[in-house]
Every structure is written in C-alpha cells, then in structure tokens.
Amino acid sequence: MKTSTVLAAALAAGVAIAATHALAQQTVTLMAYSGLFQERYTAAVVEPFMKANPGIKVEFFGLPNSAQMLGNLRAQKAAPQADVVIMDVSVSKAATDERLLVKIDEASVPNIKDLYPSTRIPGIDGVAVTFDNLMLLYNSDAVKTEPRSWMDLADPRYKGKVAFNGMPDIQGLSLVLILDRARGGTDYLRSVEKGIAAAGEIASNVQTWEPKPEIYPVIVSGQADIGLGWNARAQVNARVSGGKLKAVLPQEGSVFQVNTINQVANGPGKDAAAKFIDYALSAEVQKSFTEVMYYSPTNARAQISEAAIARTAAKSMDKVIPVDWIALAKVREPIMEQWRRKVIPLSR
Amino acid sequence: MSAATSVLPAAAAPARRGPGLPLVALLILPIAAVNALGFLAPVLNLLRMSFYEAQATGAMAEVYTLATWATVFGDGFYLALILNSVGVSLAITLLTLACSYPIALYLHRASGTWRTLLLVLVISPLLTSAVVRTYGWIAILADQGLVNNALAAIGLSRTRLMFNLTGVIIGLTEILMPYMILALLAGFGRLDPRLEEAAATLGAPPCAVFRRVVLPLTLPGIALGSLLCFVLAVSSFITPKLLGGGRVFLLATEIYDQAIVTLNWPLAATLSILVLVVFGAALVLYTRALRAML
C-alpha cells in the first residue's frame, strides 16, 4: 500500500514536471537525410527557426535514406516519435497510402499558397520542399573536354571508368527515362525499350553499378572518371574539391528528383510541427537553403542570388523532362526486369 | 590409453548421471527466453510480413496474400538467386577451407610463444570490422591497386579483380579465414602427433599418413568450420555490396535492395525466410555428416 502511494506521488510529480516543461518548451523532431544535408539544413533552417521561436526546440534525426525513414514511421505507427519528415516523393506516396501522414493544407501551413503548382502532388499528404536534378559528373583531370551528351558515357575511352547507381536506384531509372526520350520514346509508362537499349550501350563501360560510399568521392579520387549524381551534392562537392569534380547538364535534358516535407500523423509536436513546416517553405528560408546547398527552391517567391540559382536547374527548366514518379512506381518492376535481362549482362 | 579416453569423452558420458529435468529446464530458461525474444519473435513477425500485400507504390497493406511467395517461386530470377547464393557460398567455403587448413594444422602442432604469437596473428583481423577490411581489399584489387600495378610492372596486362564475382570471393575468403581456422583448431582435438608417428613407423608414406590418419581425425573440425563459413557467407552482405559492383546477385544483397531501395518489405521478408531455410538445410547436412563420422 505504502509503496503504491509513493509510486503514485512520484508519478504525479513527474507528470506535473513534464506538463510545465511542455508549456515552456515544445519539441519538434525532424527526420531527414543525414550527412551533408543535415549539416547544411541545420545551419540554414533549423537554427534560424529556433532563434525565431524560442519556445520550440527542433531535434534533427538524421537517416541515410528515405526508405529507412519510412521504416521508422512504420515501426512507430502506434506511438510516433517524429513530427516532420523530409523524404523522396515516391516514399511519401507509400507513407500516405499507409495513413502515416497528415494532409498539409493552407489552414495549417499558409506558405503553401506561394509554392509552384507542381509542388502539390495529387495523392500525397506532404508538399515538395526541394527539387534536385540528375547531372553528368566528371573528373576534370581525366576528362579534358566537357561532355555534352549522356551517351558520352558509352564512349570507348571511358571503358571501365564509368560509375553510377544502377537500377533499382532512381538514378539508374532516371537515366533510362532520359535516354528513352532522347531516342524517340514517347510514353515511359508504356515502354522504355529504347532507353533500355541505350543503357545497354553504356553497360560495357561501367566499372561499378554501386559506387561506395557514394559517387562524389569516387569521381574526386579518380577511381572513376565519369558518372551520374544529384546536382545539389555535386555542386557542394565541386566547390569542396576545388573544381576536380565538375557537373554538367547534358543536351538531352534531365529529370527532377523531388523531396517532400511531411507531417507525421499523431506526432508528439502537434501544432509546432505545422509551424516548422510553414517556416521551411517560406521564401526567405528557401532562399538561404538554396544558397548553401543548391537545391532548386519550391517557393515561387524565393529571391535566390544569381550565383546560387545558376548552380541549380531552375534556370534550365525547359531541359527538365516531366516525370510522374507516382505513376512510374507501378511500372518500376517491369522496367527493373528489363534492366536485369538486357543491361546488367552487357556489363559483365 | 589416456589419450583414447580424452579424445572420446562422449563414450564415458552415459555412465555419469546427468542433472535432473527441473534443473536442466532452469538452466536452459535464460537462453530460451533470450532466443524467444531476440530471434523467434522477430522471425515469426518476418514470416507474417511475408504474407502482407505489397502495393505498387511501395505501400504495405496488412492484408494476407500468397502473391509474394508465388512470385518468388514462379520467377526464375529468384530461384536462380537462391542457387547462385548457395553456389557462391559453397565455393567461398571450399576456398576458405583450402587456405585455412594448412595454417590450422601448423598452429595445432606449434607450441609455446610461437603458437601464441601465430594465434594472435590469426585472430587479429577480427579486431577490425569487415567494412574496413573490405575497403582494404578495394585498395589492393583496384584497377590502379597493388596487384594490378605489380602485374603491370612485370609486363602482364591488368585484369579486373573487383566489382565482380572474383572480388567478392577473394574478399570473403580472407574475411572468413579467422573463423575457419578457429573452428578447425577447435575440431582438431582427436589429432595426436603420436598416431602420425606410429603410422610412419609402421611404414606409411607421408601422403598415406595424411589421407588415412590426419584427414579422418580432423573431419569434425572441417565440418564445423565449413558450416560456420557457409552460414556466414550466405548471410554476408557488406562485402558483396562493396566488392560486387552491382554485378553479383546474392540473396543478402537482394534483401537489402528490396527493403531499402524498392520498399518491397513482403518480398524482403520472404527472401529472408528462404535464407533461414537454406541455413536449416546446411545444419541438417552438418549433423548427418557428424553422425557419419563418429
């Protein structure tokens, strides 16, 4: 009897302390990419947000990829720990379908009225927060003349010197889509046969379909001469490597990779989570993040510096091939099948 | 005679009265509890997940279906994957055995400080993680690496040694060698130098001594080491991922791709269960082989 009284008292005290604490300080847990993204996003978005909102603390929970974020959301479905998740649009679709997210609307996040129309994707609860695009990367010591076409990857002089993430990674898939269109393909949802054939021509040059730890150091170190990578990270690596790695947008154009920002259903942070999302989508914050990490902004009102915008695909929108990643997910398996049968064997 | 009893302790065991059933149950309880929580429960969960429905978008619906299992058994790719994994793992196991056996035999006969020193050398690779050792192999096997530079220096042409099956086999063989050597040493208990001497005295040439005395007596060690290495090879994933260059398709790497890249968790779960089935088959073979030996 006595023990239980003490326990109850302790519990009550604990609850009281927690309650006062909650009043004084709310915590928003943000789940997003670790590494370079975490470092730059914390400096450009998270810290300024906390300065502007002293009552809200943001915890950055970094994970290497979107799939692991979905894994966490699935595992915590009964008692979510995260409030806001930044992840790839196709993973966001899966999370939406599993009812792990809340729909973001203008009532809770007013800034979405300033976003480009393409940021609000049907069937997805979140909205686009960054656009990135596929680039051709090369080592400027080994490659003296700037490549102009994706098909330069098939040039015999790069035999054994080409590296990129093949399918099922979306870089390999993106390349197939770009090449399919360049070769006259019209509907990637129906057939990408031409793209697969073109990728097959590149296959015999490929050193590795899985550059590790990622493509950028592999190109910088000269282990591979030429490859594919995402623009934002490529631009940062180009600067850090002193121009050893160079990135170019080839003539056939490129595709966008879309990161969405999402609010977790029943997250502990509640309205503070929506407040953070609104802040992350504001014109000023989009400007400062683009200027340090070179993702194309999704807010139409963001006034990006000339130097930074030149490093994004925002200036060459006419070269961006529209891809419906959600519809594409349904035909991904058959494309993978063709990749396995018609591309990989040519690289042996 | 004392040697004979010490190498065959099993023969003496039935004479001793074992502890009573309640005590046995009590002693087994902790490990059973740990296994139930840490192994059995997750595996059952995995089994359940393998029957969930995987939607095209990557979403997983908690509706039971046999679709994933049907895909795995109906699609030649997955069957080839299983056969390929088993074949590659067997090759790695045999190679590891061939490289480790002479070392283990020498270690078994060495004595004193020399033996301790050699044992430390054998075990020390285990102090660094497999990831670090795999990166070491990348430096050695790369196109501009140690081996290829040496080949070029003596006028031979460079060959592709990694980002293919060759690289995976070389890397895994070295990584598994310490386990094999330790397992072999543990299984060499029955090998007594006096038996070899006796055979030689009776006129057996060295190769006959090896074939008729040494090899049969070391078979338990060989079986144990092979089982251990096979199981480790089938489940290894980091080394094939780093050294395979996306050309080597194994069960473990496919499970990773399905879980992390394509988000098809039911398929990843199904393949994981199949890996367990492969392990079970290996274990059955091992116990059969052991029974045949004793």
Does the structure show a pLDDT above 50 at B89? yes
Residue A147 has what pLDDT? 93
pLDDT, one tens digit per residue, over A129-162 is: 999 999 999 999 999 899 999 999 999 999 989 9
Residue A4 has what pLDDT? 55
pLDDT, one tens digit per residue, over A294-316 is: 999 999 888 888 888 888 888 77
> In this complex, do B260 and A209 lie within 8 Å of one another by their Cβ atoms?
no
Chain B residues within an 8 Å CB radius of A332: 56, 262
The confidence band for B90, taking pLDDT boundaries of 50, 70 and 90, is very high
- Please indicate if any CB of chain B lies within 8 Å of the CB of A99: no
Q: Where are the domains of chain B?
A: 76-293
Q: Is A6 exposed, middle or buried (0-12, 13-18, 19+ CB in 10 A)?
A: exposed
DSSP secondary structure code for residue A318 in this structure: G
Composition of chain A by helix, strand, coil, percent to 5: 50, 20, 35
> In this complex, do B55 and A97 lie within 8 Å of one another by their Cβ atoms?
yes
Report the residue of chain B nearest A98, measured CA to CA.
B59
Q: Strand A226-230 and strand A162-163: pairing? A: parallel
> In this complex, do B262 and A168 lie within 8 Å of one another by their Cβ atoms?
yes
CATH domain B76-293 topology? MetI-like fold (1.10.3720)
For chains A and B, count residue pairs whose Cβ atoms are closer than 8 Å: 73
The nearest CA of chain A is from the CA of B287 a distance in Å of 38
> In this complex, do B263 and A94 lie within 8 Å of one another by their Cβ atoms?
yes
Structure tokens at A336: 């993978």
Nearest to B56 among A207, A212, A329 (CB): A329
pLDDT, one tens digit per residue, over A196-234 is: 999 999 999 999 999 988 899 999 998 899 999 999 999
Q: Is A191 exposed, middle or buried (0-12, 13-18, 19+ CB in 10 A)?
A: middle
- DSSP lists the bridge partners of residue A60 as A30
pLDDT, one tens digit per residue, over A80-90 is: 999 999 999 98
The CATH architecture assigned to A2-131+257-312 reads: 3-Layer(aba) Sandwich (3.40)
Q: Structure pTM? A: 0.83
Query: Considering chain A, what percentage of its residues have pLDDT values greater than 90?
Result: 64
Chain B residues within an 8 Å CB radius of A68: 260
Does the structure show a pLDDT above 70 at B15? no
What is chain A's alpha carbon radius of gyration, rounded to the nearest angstrom? 22
Summarize the confidence of residues B239-251 as an average pLDDT: 90
Report the residue of chain B nearest A331, measured CA to CA.
B56
Q: Where are the domains of chain A?
A: 2-131+257-312, 132-256+320-347
Residue A206 has what pLDDT? 93
If we measure between CA atoms, which residue out of A304, A326, A324 comes closest to residue A315?
Answer: A304
Residue A158 has what pLDDT? 92
- Please indicate if any CB of chain A lies within 8 Å of the CB of B245: yes
CA atoms within 13 A on the CB side of B233: 33
The nearest CA of chain A is from the CA of B218 a distance in Å of 40
Quick one: A132-256+320-347 is in which CATH superfamily? Periplasmic binding protein-like II (3.40.190.10)
Q: Give the mean pLDDT of chain A.
A: 88
Domains A2-131+257-312 and A132-256+320-347 are alike in CATH topology = yes
CA atoms within 13 A on the CB side of A328: 20
DSSP secondary structure code for residue A144 in this structure: -
Omega of the bond prior to A168 within 30 degrees of 0, cis?
yes
Does the structure show a pLDDT above 70 at A246? yes
Q: Is B69 exposed, middle or buried (0-12, 13-18, 19+ CB in 10 A)?
A: middle
- Please indicate if any CB of chain A lies within 8 Å of the CB of B244: yes
The nearest CA of chain A is from the CA of B283 a distance in Å of 32
Report the complex ipTM. 0.79
The nearest CA of chain A is from the CA of B262 a distance in Å of 7
> In this complex, do B59 and A93 lie within 8 Å of one another by their Cβ atoms?
yes
Interface test with B, best of A208, A215, A330, A335 (most B CBs within 10 A): A208
Name residue A319's amino acid: K
Does the structure show a pLDDT above 60 at B4? no
